[in-house]
Chains A and B, each alone.
Chain A
């Protein structure tokens, strides 16, 4: 769907163009009409003045008292012409020179007007009046060159169009500005949503216009409900783990303590079952605790959580001196829930530390996917067994909680995030190598400074 801003922008621009076009036509017609009206009325006055200057002699011949007329009628092709037609005679103004003015007959007391071509490409507005003077019917035709008026009108129209276009552009700009300003809260919410996805924020800013506040409040409400639900379920699972582990610990200790008095097979069976229950609950509970691809909860931070995790592992394996090499692109963000990521990396690194002789390496890259590669310089594992590793419940080393359980939990997590997990032999360190690719939402990697886009 097109953006709200461009839709509003197009709509407003089109309606402005329509308004200005209609206005232009209206003004053009009006000005033309007014000019014609004005010229016509002037010509009528000229005709009446002419009528006053007309005299008939006894024979009924017309004579025009030129002194009563303005000089425009004497100057050739001045643009002002007259033609007097009586029953006997046709008298035309000197300004017509050798040209003729076609006259249409008109009844007494009537008037008609029309345009016609005149000398020197003049456009003449011609009015015809029918009069009776001293008992003689005459038609007085007065014409004026309309070109100068038309030219003024054209000039006015052009100026008007230019002004209108400038106004239109200014209005469009103003309107874009108003829209930007008005939609700022929407683009702010957009950037906030991005930082929400990245895990930089856990709520949207509730200080929004009233039109948007129900939406924002609803999102905030859902977020807090989801977060609460996740926390509650994690707490409940923690309590469940606590509750199950308590009798398990005691059962295990009773079994161990009574090793000498219990029949050997019974002891072995008990010990095995206890460790089975323990591993199963661990795995089930951890799977149930996964946040998955929800946007609630804190995100894992490579710059903060990863060093802490490595310190933790260093303390746990303080009897070994293991060098960890972290290959990490500066400043990348992890779009994955903190606890999930700690669980995933914790289990994988725990395996690596457990088997490594001297060094462990972690390589993290973010492209279309989040790629994690963990290698160690331990003994590695047989490729045939590797293929069974991530299947549920298959363990390579039943007694040592070896690669199996940790990798099982890791593979549960990868599955939850619809990623891939593969094992192999490290080329650089020679030991075990795990490769993980987790799909990430593209949005997450847009830099923060996209405001106003």
Chain B
């Protein structure tokens, strides 16, 4: 899952980025409103964490612009001011969730997961597609035979993205976009290696290769 973290406080970004990456997100950061708006418009993010007190352009305006340009990017708003009129304003311009500072990282992670499930219309709680159950906290996968497999970071991200988008053609470039952040060395051939690993775990017929198009995760 590719996440945009728009927050101007370098210290907070440093710790938060580490935590988010550990939780399986590919994190890009923006420390001002103008960059944040630009990045959000790229359409490569699955979710955004947006601080309202951004320099350059405040978070409300950034969000307003995103929504005006038709973006449905799920957004969690962060704010220090914590006033209700700001919350109302935030939701009115299209925020999906709201978190007041200071917050516990765990709470943010829970809300991110919940929001991702909600936006891909998956029921709440654990991510379960057919008989596959993905434990997002432990980053482990329970397969049809009941065995629990621990996944590496990239495997987890790839598995989660596929489970959240079942039945859709996912091109290699889309997968790399949503799995790696801007600073990573993107080699789409590596995706093939990870697909192979996942096929070993869930059965090769679950991930179909469409020549020239990409992969489809089958949710029958």
Neighbour of A246 across the interface among B12, B84, B87, CB < 8 A: B12
Do residues A241 and B81 form an inter-chain contact, with CB atoms below 8 A? Answer: yes
Q: Is the Cβ of B81 less than 8 Å from the Cβ of A238? A: yes
- The answer to whether B97 touches A316, judged by C-beta atoms less than 8 angstroms apart, is yes
Which of B15, B118, B124 has the most A CB atoms < 10 Å from its CB? Answer: B15
> A347 contacts which chain B residues (CB < 8 A)?
84
Residue B130, interface by CB 8 Å: no
A248-B101, A256-B105 known; A339 vs B80 contact (CB < 8 Å)? no
Taken together as a complex, chains A and B put the C-alpha atoms of A238 and B97 apart, in Å, by 20
Flag whether B34 is at the interface (Cβ < 8 A): no
Which chain A residues lie closer than 8 Å to B82 at the CB level?
241, 245, 282
Q: Are B88 and A246 in contact (CB under 8 A)?
A: no
What residues of A have a CB within 8 angstroms of the CB of B84 in the complex?
A: 309, 339, 342-343, 345-347
A319 in complex: contacting residue of B16, B81, B102, B114, CB < 8 Å: B114
Contacts of A194 in B (CB 8 A): none
- Across the interface, which residues of B come within 8 angstroms of A257, CB to CB? 15
Closest B residue to A338 by CB, please name it. Answer: B85
* Contact of A245 with B80 in the complex, beta carbons under 8 Å: yes
Bound complex: CA A282 to CA B101 (Å): 10
A246 engages B83 (CB within 8 Å)? no
Residue pair B9, A246 in contact (C-beta under 8 Å): yes
Chain B, 105-160, CB within 8 A of any chain A CB? 105, 114, 118, 124
Q: In chain B, what residue has the closest Cβ to A243?
A: B80
Name the distance in Å between B94's Cβ and chain A's nearest Cβ: 10
Q: Give chain B residues whose Cβ lies under 8 Å from the Cβ of A242.
A: 53, 80-81
**Looking across the interface, which residue of chain B has its beta carbon closest to that of A238?**
B81
B88 and A308 contact, CB distance less than 8 A: yes
Q: Does A395 contact B (CB under 8 A)?
A: no
Interchain CA distance A347-B97 in the complex, whole Å: 17
A278 an interface residue at 8 Å Cβ cutoff?
yes
- Taking the nearest CB of chain A, how far is it from the CB of B153, in angstroms? 19
Residue A342 contacts which of B12, B16, B85, B124 (CB distance < 8 angstroms)?
Answer: B85
B92 contacts partner chain A, Cβ-Cβ < 8 Å: yes
Q: Are B118 and A241 in contact (CB under 8 A)?
A: no
Smallest CB separation, B203 vs chain A (Å): 33
Q: Name the residue in A241, A244, A347 with the highest tally of chain B Cβ atoms < 10 Å from its Cβ.
A: A241
Q: Is the CB of A381 closer than 8 A to any CB of chain B? A: no
Q: Any chain A CB within 8 A of the CB of B211?
A: no
Q: How far is the CB of B133 from chain A (nearest CB, A)?
A: 19
Q: Is A305 an interface residue (CB 8 A)?
A: yes
The reply to whether B118 and A318 contact each other, CB–CB distance below 8 Å, is yes
- Contact string against A for B residues 1-42, beta-carbon threshold 8 Å, 1 for contact and 0 otherwise: 000000001011001100100000000000000000000000
Q: Is the CB of B91 within 8 A of A343?
A: no
In the assembly, what is the distance between CA of A244 and CA of B97, in Å? 23
Selected from B85, B87, B102, the residue in CB contact (under 8 A) with A278 is B102
Check if A254 is an interface residue, CB within 8 A of chain B: yes
CB distance from A297 to the nearest CB of B (A): 11
Query: Which residues on B sit within 8 Å (CB–CB) of A305?
Result: 88
A100, CB-defined interface residue at 8 Å: no
Q: Does A311 contact B (CB under 8 A)?
A: yes
Question: Does residue B208 face the partner (Cβ distance < 8 Å to A)?
Answer: no
Complex Cα distance A253/B19, Å?
A: 10
Give the distance to chain B from A319, nearest Cβ to Cβ, in Å. 6
Contacts A318-B118, A338-B85; A308 near B92 (Cβ below 8 A) = yes
Scan residues 364-378 of chain A and give those whose CB is less than 8 A from a CB of chain B.
Answer: none
Closest to B78 in A: A249
> Which of B12, B80, B114, B124 meets A241, CB within 8 Å?
B80
What CA separation (Å) do A252 and B104 show in the bound complex? 7
Judge whether A387 is part of the interface by a CB distance below 8 angstroms.
no
User: Out of B92, B95, B102, which one reaches A274, CB within 8 Å?
Assistant: B102
Are B91 and A312 neighbours in the complex by a CB distance under 8 Å?
Answer: yes
| A346 and B12 contacting across the interface, CB-CB below 8 Å | no
B98 at interface (Cβ–Cβ under 8 A)?
Answer: yes
B96: Cβ under 8 A from any A Cβ: yes
* Contact A253/B85 with A241-B80, A274-B102 known, Cβ cut-off 8 Å: no
Q: Which residues of B contact A253 (CB under 8 A)?
A: 12, 15-16, 19, 102, 104-105
> Nearest Cβ in chain B — how far from A243, in angstroms?
8
Q: Which B residues are CB-close (under 8 A) to A338?
A: 85
Chain A residue contacts of B9, Cβ below 8 A: 246, 249-250
Q: Are A249 and B101 in contact (CB under 8 A)?
A: yes
Assembled-state Cα–Cα distance A257/B11 (Å): 14
CB contacts under 8 Å to B, within A219-243, are 238, 241-242
The one of B83, B96, B124 that contacts A315, using a Cβ cutoff of 8 Å:
B96
- The complex places the Cα of A228 from the Cα of B62 at a distance, in Å, of 25
Asked if A289 CB lies within 8 Å of chain B CBs, one says: yes
- Interchain nearest-CB distance for A314 vs B (Å): 9
Nearest neighbor of B52 in chain A, beta-carbon distance: A242
Flag if A309 contacts B88 (CB, 8 Å).
yes
A289: chain B residues within 8 A (beta carbon): 83
Within B144-198, the residues touching A (CB, 8 Å) are none
Cα–Cα distance between A250 and B104 once the two chains are bound (Å): 10
Residues of B within 8 A of A (CB): 9, 11-12, 15-16, 19, 53, 80-85, 87-88, 90-92, 95-98, 101-105, 114, 118, 124
Known A252-B102, A316-B87, A339-B83; 13 more pairs at CB < 8 Å: A238-B81, A242-B53, A245-B80, A249-B103, A253-B15, A253-B19, A254-B15, A308-B92, A312-B88, A312-B91, A318-B118, A342-B84, A347-B84
Q: Which residues of A are in contact with B by a Cβ distance under 8 Å?
A: 238, 241-242, 244-246, 248-254, 256-257, 274, 278, 282, 286, 289, 305, 308-309, 311-312, 315-316, 318-319, 338-339, 342-343, 345-347
30 A-B pairs within 8 Å (CB atoms) are namely A238-B81, A242-B53, A242-B81, A245-B102, A248-B102, A249-B12, A249-B80, A249-B102, A250-B11, A250-B15, A252-B102, A253-B104, A256-B105, A289-B83, A305-B88, A308-B88, A309-B88, A311-B91, A312-B91, A315-B91, A315-B95, A316-B91, A318-B97, A318-B118, A339-B83, A339-B85, A342-B83, A342-B84, A346-B84, A346-B87
